[in-house]
Structure 1
Amino acid sequence: MSPIERFSSGGPWEEKYGYSRVVRAGNLLLTAGCTATVDGVVTGVGDPRAQALTAFGIALDALARAGAAREDVIRTRMYVTDATYADAVAGAHGSIFAEVRPVATLVVVAGLLDPEHLVEVEVEAYTGGRPRTVLV
């Protein structure tokens, strides 16, 4: 049985709130929720597509550091604060995952922790036992 590995992005909330950016359990990798916060600043304010692209980029970078590629993604979850953002966010998803075609869920939520956050995403990957390189 493979050990569980935990990867941090170095963000301030991970230590404060006791979570990891990515957890790897064998060939399964899961990200924590990712938003468009970069270096403590919300990017793409007012633009759900820009926020989705940034959030997915953060998730994919974290997965790469843990040994998974975009092609390994098997599931995504997207949370939006308004149903009118669905097309923009789903379009961003499509621009990243068109060839990968993971299962996907998009849910409208009452709100996120920061009112400037319009989108939060989670990504899961499965490496299926292929060789991997972990960047620490």
Structure 2
Amino acid sequence: MTESPEVPESPETQDSPESARSPQVHRVRSDDSSWEEAIGSSRVVAAGDRVIVAGIMPAPASGTVPGDAEPYDQTVSAFRSALSALEPFGLDAGSVIRTRMYLSHARDADEVGRAHLEVFGAVRPAATMVVVAGFADSRVLVEVEIEAYRGDARGGPVEPGEREEGGA
């Protein structure tokens, strides 16, 4: 008789008080948390060995979208903002294992890909690029998400300049 493969516990079971393996969850909101408050979300969620940064659009400065209509510039800006969200956890681009890029136009795929290569270089995270109908701000051409691995470093945010043990 063949044994069935071991099925891992579901996330609901892992997060339940009864589970001894329950991950500690940390949620971080951005400085401007109006959107996060309005929809009940967090900019960053860290649980177990993962740190997930929610969708980030290019950071507006003085009411303008960086790169205005340039997909490359918008993508670099969005990834830099997403990476800055990892800093409180002592992580950087080298910790990123997955990226997602949402584009409003398929024609921008090459420029968005070039920006991804510039930001992540040899890191080579798993990457997905999807074309969507558009964004809440019509000037935005791209939104990005990242997921980072922090190994055994499972604490919360650390002070700037301080690194968690096991961090990248």
Q: What is the TM-score normalised by the length of structure 2?
A: 0.75
Contact 1:22–1:66 (CA under 8 A) maintained in structure 2: no
1:8 partner amino acid: R
1:38 to 57, 60, 63: 60
Shift of 1:14: 1.5
Secondary structure (helix, strand or coil) at the match of 1:33 reads: strand
2:80 to 50, 54, 57: 57
Q: CA deviation at 1:84?
A: 0.9
Question: Percent identity, aligned pairs only?
Answer: 44
CA distance in 2, matches of 1:28, 1:40: 33
Cα distance in 2 for partners of 1:96, 1:79 equals: 16
Q: Find the residue that maps to 2:69 and give its secondary structure.
A: coil
Partners in 2 of 1:15 and 1:94 — Cα distance? Answer: 33
Partner Cα distance (1:119, 1:40) in 2: 19
Which structure: larger Rg? 2
Task: Spell out structure 1 runs of 4+ moving beyond 4 A.
Answer: 130-133
1:76 Cα deviation after fit: 0.1
> How far is the alpha carbon of 1:40 from its aligned partner?
6.8
List runs of 5+ in structure 1 lacking aligned partners. Answer: none
Residue 69 of structure 1 pairs with residue 92 of structure 2: yes
Q: 1:131 to 1:111 in 2, by over 3 A?
A: closer
Q: Residues of 1 paired with 2:148 and 2:98: CA distance?
A: 7
Structure 2 unaligned runs (5+)?
1-21, 161-168
Report the counterpart of residue 148 of structure 2 in structure 1: 125
Q: Matched residues in 1 for 2:159 and 2:111: separation?
A: 32
Q: Tell me whether 1:16 sits opposite 2:38 in the alignment.
A: yes
Q: Give CA deviations for 1:67-124 in whole Å, capped at 9, x if unaligned.
A: 3221110000001111110010000000011111100001111111110010000000
Confirm or deny that 1:110 pairs with 2:139.
no
What is the CA–CA distance in structure 1 between the aligned matches of 2:159 and 2:62, rounded to whole Å?
23
Question: Structure with the greater relative contact order (CA < 8 A, sep ≥ 6): 1 or 2?
Answer: 1
Q: Could you say what the CA RMSD is over the residues aligned between the two structures, in angstroms? A: 1.8
Contact 1:7/1:66 (8 A) holds in 2: no
- Structure 2 distance, partners of 1:28, 1:128, is 8
Q: Which has the higher strand share?
A: 1
